[in-house]
Amino acid sequence: IGRDGDQVITAEEVGEWSNTISYEVLTAIGPRVERRYSE
């Protein structure tokens, strides 16, 4: 989901903390949150 320097947080990690799956984490992000895509 994000990176700050050498620290990274993934949707899978957030899902584990929330007792859910990464798909639910990603679909719960509202439309007002800025999206940035990179390769």
Q: What is the pLDDT of residue 36?
A: 84
3-state secondary structure 12-36: HHHHHHHCCCHHHHHHCCCCCCCCC
Cα 36 to Cα 21: distance, rounded to the nearest angstrom: 22
Q: What is the pLDDT of residue 5?
A: 94
* 1-39 pLDDT per residue, tens: 889 999 999 999 999 999 999 999 999 999 898 888 887
Q: What is the pLDDT of residue 38?
A: 80
Q: What is the pLDDT of residue 11?
A: 95
